[in-house]
Every structure is written in C-alpha cells, then in structure tokens.
Amino acid sequence: MSHRRRPTSSLTRMVTTLALAAASTLLAAGSSTAAEPAAVAAATGPEAAVTDHLHERGQQRAGALASGDRPVVKVTREAGAWAHGTAVLATEPGSDRMPEGWLFIAHRDGGSWQVAFDGEPRFAELSARSTLTRAAEKPLFAEQDGRQVSAAGRPGVTTGITPLAGSDFRTGMALPWANGQTWTMTSGPHGWGGSEAPWSSMDFAGGDQTVRATRGGTAYTMCTGWIRVIHDRGYSTDYYHLWSSVNVNGAAVGAGAYLGYTGTDVTCGGAASGRHVHFGLRQNSAYVGLAGHGLGKWSMENGGSAYQGSALHGSARVVAPGNLYNYGALGLNQGVIDANGGGSVNKRTGPGTGYGLSGSVADGATVTVSCSSNGTSHTGRYGTSSLWNRLSDGTWVSDAYMWTGVNGTINGYC
C-alpha cells in the first residue's frame, strides 16, 4: 500500500533535476568513513558538513545518489560550537524507494565541523557533551550509537527475527492509535522501502485516522509528514505519510500523544495509495524485523513474502489484511496467556503439575509476573519449557503458555 509507483509530472522532474544538480555541487567535496564523523571547514557552516556526510551514506547504499535523490538538511538548534538537526536522503515523490533519515549532532572542532549521525559510534559521545542536548534526550541518545544491533553489524540481513540485545523483544508499545480502537492492518511486515529485509514496517488505516505515539519518548519532524519518536531501551518508531503532523524538535511526548492524521503525504519521496500510516520499528538506529515484537499486546509474524504475515494475541491470529484491536501496551513484567488453541490455562499453587489447582486464566488475558522458577516441562506454541511464572496473585502458570517477548524470565527468579 505504501510503495506503488505513480506517474511523475514534467514539472516535478524539472524541479527534481534542479535540486539534484544543486546537491551535486554541494557534494563535490571529499568524505570520511561513516564510522567516524565527517569534517568540513568551519567557515562553511554545519549544513555543508552534514550534506557531505549524507553523500557518504548514499554511496554506501547504492554506490552513488540515485537519480531524483536529494539531501535535505535542517539545522534545528545551533549555538556556539554545536548544531543539532535532521538529515534526510529524500527520494523522488512517486518513487518506489522510500527516504532514509537520521538525527545529527555537529561540533566545530578547531577549523572544521565534526558530524555524527544516530547509529554511529560518536553520536552518543557527542550528545553527552553537547550543550544543546536536552536532559530528556541524553539517556535516549546514549542508546542510539548502534552497539547493540546484530554482531554482523548488518541488522536484518534475513527476513526472520533479527538478533537484538539479549534476544529481548519487549517494546512496551501500543499500536499507533488510541487504545480501545480497531484499525485495519492493511499489510503485514515488509521493509521500510518495500520488500527488502529487514521486514521492519507495516501499514495501518481506519479508525478515527488519528496517529499516536506507541510509547513515550522525544519526537522529531524528519520532514513534512514524517515523524520519528526516540524511545527508551534503544527503540525508535517512524510514522510516515501523515497529514497535519506535529512540528517538533525533540519535544517530550507521552504514550498516545497525537502525531498527525493518516494520509498520503510523500514530501520526502516514496509513494502512497490510499490514506494510511507507514509504521517502522527501529532499534539502536537501525530498522529491525517486526516479527516477534509486541505492539498493542499483539505479536507480529512474518508471512511467506513481504506484505503478508499476521498478528497473534493469545491464540487469536489475524492475517493481513485484517482488523486489530489496540489492547494497549504490554508491561515489561507482563505476559499474554496463549493456550495454543483457545480456552484457558490452569493456575497452580506452585511451579508444576504436582501442585494443586488454583483456578484458571483465559486465553488472551494479560497477567503480571512477580518472578519465575523451574518446574515440570510443558510444550506450547513456541516449544518446550520447564519455566513457570509466579503471577501477582501468587498462583503459577507454565511459561510454555505465555507470550512475553523473552525466551526466559522477565522479572528474575523467585
């Protein structure tokens, strides 16, 4: 739904050609490696240094900027030797390629500007020193240096679940609309720009059309219609194609905060057919596979190809396209009961079937885990486990019948 090619007018092509020519003039300077901040003479200002760094990113992506691509740099804060802002490699509107974007921090050191994008090793270090980094941003930026993505350094090289920090897939996120509403999952997991890996993105439409932050954090306008929210635990989320979106520069937002309305905006490139929000999940400044992650108490699942897939809540599976009810965020010490076929799961007075029954809990119910212990083995949807979880009411349930986002304890051992 997000990536169908649309015809481009002659006027658009002319404007794009002029923009690309201007960008090429700016990008004629040499470049440094992406692992280190780019340096450009201080007299030229931070924009030129950031633009040069964007050129490097374009070369890494495709060997050179593709026809119609253009750098869009916005300095949103500047004082003394520091500058902050956004850097976007925009594509041609109507293109089947999506834009890419980063937050940047630039520091004037001696006679040149040093630039680091989020996801680069220097970003966290510069953000800690910058006089422009706000108190709410410091702990979030500290996790945006790319250290916790897959060991190969190329997160999402397969369409399966990307190995993340500790294989912990808890997000603490709701779906990107109001709790208690039902929207349509118009497409299952796919790449931010289409079919490519990782399958980090999904399309949603319907409801009251109001797009909201899945979790609290700090929000940034990457370009018109594109909002990024930086969350804790290294996560961030992208929301594109929005109409009447907020204009923010590091504003603190709470879970459920208004970001904009579903739309078809392609100011930074790409295509949209029918109003929706193109939602993307990132961790440590890289798009990561949605499969295995939880949104609104649904576990997202890949399909046989991009745009297929499904979502699972307890034993209830919804295949794309299908309707999803937003149950709200699953707490980091909570789980969803999965009876692996519906019905209910027995609760026990201790960690095993040798202990007495103490009622039952329904498939799809949310439970809070106090601690865990080993007991009798059982086999559920995700395999066999001897782990048992003690619930907040003092009863016990086998971990084999609970989805938490972690293959192991979520609140320590008893």
Q: What is the pLDDT of residue 20?
A: 37
Q: Which tops the pLDDT comparison, 322 or 44? A: 322
Cβ burial of 7 (10 Å; 0-12, 13-18, 19+) is exposed
Which range among 105-119, 137-151, 173-187 has the greatest average pLDDT? 173-187
- 222 φψ region: left (φ > 0), alpha (ψ -120 to 50), beta (else): alpha
Q: What are phi and psi of 305, to 5 degrees?
A: -150, 170
Q: What is the pLDDT of residue 342?
A: 85
What CA–CA distance (Å, rounded) separates 238 from 184? Answer: 18
Confidence of residue 138 (pLDDT cuts 50, 70, 90): very high
pTM of the predicted model as reported, rounded to 2 decimal places: 0.87
Instruction: Please report, rounded to a whole number, the percentage of residues in the chain having pLDDT higher than 90.
Output: 74
- Mean pLDDT for all residues in the chain: 86
Q: What's the mean pLDDT in 78-90? A: 96
211-268 pLDDT, tens per residue? 999 999 999 999 999 999 999 999 999 999 999 999 999 999 999 999 999 999 999 9
- Tell whether the model's pLDDT for residue 67 goes beyond 80: no
Q: What is the pLDDT of residue 166?
A: 53
Residue 287's Cβ-side half-sphere holds a number of Cα atoms within 13 Å equal to 25
- Tell whether the model's pLDDT for residue 14 goes beyond 80: no
- Tell whether the model's pLDDT for residue 42 goes beyond 90: no
Cβ atoms < 10 Å from Cβ of 270: 29
Which pair of structure tokens corresponds to residue 40?
């450009």
353-378 pLDDT, tens per residue? 999 999 999 999 999 999 999 999 99
Confidence of residue 314 (pLDDT cuts 50, 70, 90): very high
